[in-house]
A and B are shown apart, each in its own frame.
Chain A
Amino acid sequence: MRILLRAGSPLAALGLWYLLTEHDVVFLLRFDRFPGPGDVLAEFGRQLTTGVYYQDLAQSLVRILTGFVLAALFGGLLGTLVARSRRAGDLLLPLFELARPVPAIALVPIAILLFPQSEQGIVFITFAAAFFPIMVSTRHAVRALPPVWEDAVRTLGGGRVRVLAGVLLPGILPGVFGGLSVGMGVAWICLISAEMISGQFGVGYRTWASYTIVDYPGVLVGIITIGLLGFLTSGAVELLGRRATRWLPAEARR
């Protein structure tokens, strides 16, 4: 029953799209040049049989995973460092706070200047986008950790490594996964934009390229692909997060 309800809004959007394009509605918005679901489906089917589609898909996934994993590692490490060490916080936080408001996509010219290959530049943009939400959520999660957990482990004979691996890491996961979720979202936004600006492959590049050659069904295939990729990767992060935080009391779980 619930699955029917949940399928309701996508199906309604699909139906509306079909009606508007089928009748070439021009009222406030223009649907006369807009491709209908049938055209897009046919184009989708055609692209699925070509190698280019999968090549773009693989390229975008490699970029996002590389940037995201790097951001998770550095964001987690530096977020922990600035929360645990006052000196590291004093040293690094001003730089972070200055760099954080800059949208990662505004770093495209810098990435082009700095990196010899556009590939590295795009991964850097993705990394920069995901880094800050992950770093900030890690910092807050470390600070919000009840001190009694660490005290207990220390008075049971636990050393620094035991505290970091056995208390800090599991303890901050619920907070960090929020940041990972947000990070994955902005990483996609910035990856697609960067690909549109300077890519040579990738779903974002292909979408923009389709537009420039007036292949509107191709544009929509690209957009739907981006939506699906974002949905699947965010879902994967969410799933991992739930598995890692099954110990939370019921009221704290989402």
Chain B
Amino acid sequence: MNALSFQIKNLSLTRAGSPVLGGLDLDVAAGEILAVAGSSGCGKSTLLRALAGLLPVASGELLADGRPVRGTSADRALMFQEDALLPWRSARANVALPLAIRRVPRAERNARADGWLARVGLAGLERRLPRDLSGGQRQRVQLARTLAGQPRAVLMDEPFGALDAQTRHEMQRLLTDVWNASTTVVFVTHDVDEALLLGDRVAVLGGGGLADLVEVPHPRTTVDPALRARVLAALGAQTLETT
């Protein structure tokens, strides 16, 4: 399965009747990691929901591999900021969910789910219910569940936002470890360093559209101060615009 690309042309989105994004142009290449940064309310989560197919396009074009996005698909898995595990399913059954939807036989999907749980460092907790896991563990299960279906694009809405600093670093490392070029990743964050460390490019949203698009050169083990200043400037400009 090859990675998915997105083409966004003059896209406008509304949330609860009021416009959030207007006239956005952005291409996401197949297999890249795109970080989307912006202050709260700039429409980054709304954009992600539209990419997932959970939110209809108000006007403009939103294409995946050249075809309009209509409705949800297993190709475009969304990892939520909040706890989105089904509480009556064990960790294993949650991770196996995308495989169950695809009618993978039970023994095989359980084995694959256990493999994913081991990769996110939760071996031995397969039978736990979400209520018996910590917030950080639940988020790891969600990451495993999102990746277990081998989607062609992974959309992440501040996936590590609610975690403590150490877990956050582990999860970031995990994401770069398990990521391979057969998956496109679009992830939303308000953490500039996270965006610059994980993203191949950083799209800064603001003022209802794209405020800046920053390429991050490889290899990167530390955050380039010049790029950080540039992203912060784009963020700062929009803060001034909105206030």
Query: Which residues of A come within 8 Å of B, CB atoms?
Result: 148-149, 151-158, 162, 166-167, 170-171, 247-250
Contact yes or no, A248 B74, CB < 8 A: no
Complex CA gap A248/B129 in Å reads 9
Contact yes or no, B129 A157, CB < 8 A: no
Chain B residues with CB below 8 A from A154, complex form:
53-54, 72
A252 nearest in chain B by CB position: B131
Contact yes or no, B77 A156, CB < 8 A: yes
Contacts A155-B72, A155-B78, A157-B98 given; indicate if A148 touches B129 (C-beta within 8 A).
no
Contact yes or no, B98 A156, CB < 8 A: yes
- Segment with Cβ contacts to A, from B26-34, B84-92, B233-241: B84-92
Tell me, rounded to whole Å, the shortest Cβ–Cβ distance linking A140 to chain B. 18
Taken residue by residue from 67 to 96, chain B's Cβ proximity to chain A (1 for < 8 Å, 0 otherwise) reads as: 000001110111010111111110000000
Complex CA gap A247/B54 in Å reads 28
- Between A154, A162, A249, the greatest number of chain B beta carbons within 10 A of the residue's beta carbon is seen for A154
Q: Sorted from nearest, which 5 A-B pairs have the closest CB atoms?
A: A157-B74, A247-B88, A155-B78, A152-B84, A154-B72
What does DSSP make chain B's interface, helix, strand, loop or mixed? loop
- Between A152, A154, A170, A247, the greatest number of chain B beta carbons within 10 A of the residue's beta carbon is seen for A152
Complex CA gap A149/B74 in Å reads 15
B145 nearest in chain A by CB position: A156
Tell me, rounded to whole Å, the shortest Cβ–Cβ distance linking A153 to chain B. 7
Tell me, rounded to whole Å, the shortest Cβ–Cβ distance linking B213 to chain A. 26
B88 nearest in chain A by CB position: A247
Complex CA gap A153/B97 in Å reads 8
Complex CA gap A166/B52 in Å reads 20
Tell me, rounded to whole Å, the shortest Cβ–Cβ distance linking B68 to chain A. 17
What does DSSP make chain A's interface, helix, strand, loop or mixed? helix
- B169 CB-CB contact with A under 8 Å: no
Select one of A151, A157, A247, A249 contacting B101, CB under 8 A: A157
Select one of B84, B131, B145, B149 contacting A248, CB under 8 A: B131
Query: Which residues of B come within 8 Å of A, CB atoms?
Result: 52-54, 72-74, 76-78, 80, 82-89, 97-98, 101-102, 129-131, 145-146, 149, 155
Contact yes or no, B131 A149, CB < 8 A: no
Contact yes or no, A151 B84, CB < 8 A: yes
Contact yes or no, B74 A167, CB < 8 A: no
Contact yes or no, B84 A149, CB < 8 A: yes
Chain A residues with CB below 8 A from B77, complex form:
155-156
Chain B residues with CB below 8 A from A158, complex form:
97, 101
Tell me, rounded to whole Å, the shortest Cβ–Cβ distance linking B139 to chain A. 13
The 25 sampled A-B contact pairs (Cβ below 8 Å) are A148-B80, A148-B83, A148-B84, A149-B84, A151-B52, A152-B80, A152-B85, A153-B86, A153-B97, A155-B72, A155-B73, A155-B155, A156-B101, A156-B145, A156-B146, A156-B149, A162-B101, A170-B88, A171-B86, A171-B88, A247-B87, A247-B89, A247-B130, A247-B131, A249-B131
B155 nearest in chain A by CB position: A155
Tell me, rounded to whole Å, the shortest Cβ–Cβ distance linking A170 to chain B. 5
Chain A residues with CB below 8 A from B53, complex form:
154-155
Complex CA gap A141/B230 in Å reads 48
Tell me, rounded to whole Å, the shortest Cβ–Cβ distance linking A30 to chain B. 55
Contacts A153-B97, A157-B72 given; indicate if A148 touches B86 (C-beta within 8 A).
no
B130 nearest in chain A by CB position: A247
Chain B residues with CB below 8 A from A156, complex form:
74, 77, 97-98, 101, 145-146, 149
Known: A155-B76, A155-B77, A158-B101. 5 other contacts (CB 8 A): A148-B80, A151-B84, A154-B72, A157-B149, A247-B130
